[in-house]
Amino acid sequence: MDTGNDIAIRAVDLAKHYRSGETDLIVFSGLGFEVRRGERLAIVGESGAGKSTLLHLLGGLDRPSNGTIHFGAKEITALPDTELADFRNREIGFVWQIHYLLPEFTALENVMMPLLIRGASHEEAARPSLARLEEVGLTARASHRAGELSGGEQQRVALARALVGSPACLFADEPTGNLDSRTGEMVFGLLGELCRSRRLTTVIVTHNFSFARRCDRVLKMEGGVLGPAAEASLKEPSRQEDGKNYV
Average pLDDT (177-202) is: 95
Mean pLDDT of 190-196: 95
Query: Can you give the CATH number for the domain in which 181 is found?
Result: 3.40.50.300
**Residue 103's domain spans which residues?**
7-230
Strand, helix or coil for residue 131: helix
- Averaged pLDDT of the chain: 92
Domain count, the chain: 1
Which tens digit of pLDDT belongs to each residue from 43-99? 999 999 999 999 999 999 999 999 999 999 999 999 999 999 999 999 999 999 999
Q: Which residues contact 172 (CB under 8 A, 6 or more apart)?
A: 94, 95, 96, 191, 202, 203, 204, 205, 206
- What pLDDT, on the 0 to 100 scale, is given for residue 245? 37
Torsion of Cα atoms, 148 then 128 then 89 then 41, to 10°: 80
Residue 184: inside a domain, yes or no?
Answer: yes
Residue 236 lies in a domain: no
Per residue in 140-169, is it b (16+ CB within 10 Å) or e — as a string?
ebbeebbeebeebbbbbbbbbbbbbbebbb
DSSP letter for each residue of 48-110: TSSHHHHHHHHTTSS--SEEEEEETTEEGGGS-HHHHHHHHHHHEEEE-SS----TTSBHHHH
Integer distance in angstroms from the first to the last C-alpha of the chain? 40
Tally Cβ neighbours within 10 Å of residue 61: 15
Residue 239 domain-assigned (yes or no)? no
pTM above 0.75? yes
Residue 246 falls inside a structural domain: no
Cβ–Cβ under 8 Å, residues 225 and 32: no
Q: Has residue 91 been placed in a domain?
A: yes
Residue 180 is assigned to a structural domain of this protein: yes
Is residue 190 included in any domain, yes or no?
yes
Amino acid at 24: D
Residue 66 lies in a domain: yes
